[in-house]
């Protein structure tokens, strides 16, 4: 069994694509119509054949409620690993990214949490082990 796709709900796919590629540095992998929906994925430039992140429109009322409630509770919708949280934090700040949690040492890791402009909190993490 392999993980090939995972997704985050977004309130606007075009805005999400811009943020995830221009600010976070992912690359667009696929974009095509799927009926009334758009299939849109991004990948890490470090692993272009790796796991794809689906930027999934939250048009389903249950998806919208889920997205809004975990955001209100401060729960990240996704967690991305980086080599240096402080360095990535500083780079993203230069792109105007808003952080809700500045780089923080935790047991076994350093983390920071940012807003993705599309209704989600995203955690960036460096494991210290």
DSSP codes joined into one string, 109-127:
EEEEEEE-SSS-EEEEEEE
Whether the CB-CB separation of 47 and 27 falls below 8 Å is answered with no
C-alpha span between 60 and 17 (Å, rounded): 19
The model's pTM: 0.94
Where do the structural domains in the chain lie, given as residue ranges?
A: 5-127
pLDDT at position 35, please? 82
Architecture of domain 5-127: Roll (3.10)
Q: What percent of the chain has pLDDT over 70?
A: 100
Give the helix/strand (H/E) hosting 38: strand 37-43
**Dihedral Cα 23, 24, 28, 33, nearest 10 deg:** -80
Q: Where residue 109 falls among pLDDT bands split at 50, 70, 90?
A: very high
pLDDT at position 96, please? 96
Q: Where residue 107 falls among pLDDT bands split at 50, 70, 90?
A: very high
How far from 17 is each of 14, 20, 65, 106, 128, CA to CA, in Å?
Answer: 5, 5, 22, 31, 30
Higher pLDDT, 128 or 52: 52
In 10 A of CB 123, how many CB atoms?
A: 19
Residue 36 has pLDDT above 90, yes or no: no
pLDDT at position 95, please? 94
Q: Mean pLDDT, the chain, as a whole number?
A: 96
Locate 90 and state its tokens: 């500083």
């Amino acid at each position: 069994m392999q993980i090939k796709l995972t997704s985050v709900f977004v309130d606007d796919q075009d805005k999400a694509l811009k943020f995830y590629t221009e600010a976070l540095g992912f690359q667009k992998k696929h974009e095509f119509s799927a009926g009334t929906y758009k299939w849109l994925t991004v990948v890490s430039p470090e692993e272009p054949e790796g796991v794809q992140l689906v930027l999934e429109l939250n048009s389903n009322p249950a998806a919208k409620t889920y997205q809004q409630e975990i955001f209100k509770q401060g729960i990240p919708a996704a967690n991305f690993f980086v080599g240096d949280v402080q360095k990535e934090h500083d780079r993203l700040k230069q792109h105007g990214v808003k952080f809700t949690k500045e780089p923080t040492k935790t047991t076994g890791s350093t983390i920071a949490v940012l807003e993705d402009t599309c209704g989600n909190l995203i955690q960036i993490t460096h494991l210290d082990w």
